[in-house]
Structure 1
């Protein structure tokens, strides 16, 4: 609760890593498609769970920024 800007920064770094993960998965699947002779991607937990984590990360970032704006607006009143 004490360091909201750091929390927001960590959320954005985590979101960056999750997006990078999906880019790597997509590129490796696209590049090695002929080698693996796989025509579709299996929707297992290692594909779905990081997507859910990305959504929750974005929601957390929005909530942290909302709290920070609220605290700053209350500081102006004092």
Structure 2
């Protein structure tokens, strides 16, 4: 792929500790995952479904911090 060739060339002439160098290193490290995603049409672009599924638990966890007492926390958890 042209992007991979560009990344390889740019990596050779970019300082690894620069922001661009770090971005190139990251992209090359994630390359196998990117290729898997692009080759498999069943994979989703984002993880919105998973995040939406766990959102009630995350919101609840934050709210439970302010329960005030063990009995209040237990009541909140039951609700």
Q: TM-score normalised by the shorter chain: which range applies? A: 0.3 to 0.5
Q: Which has the higher contact order (CA 8 A, sep 6+)?
A: 1
Greater gyration radius: 2
- In the superposition, the TM-score normalised over structure 1's length comes to 0.35
Q: More helix by proportion, 1 or 2? A: 1
- In the superposition, the TM-score normalised over structure 2's length comes to 0.34
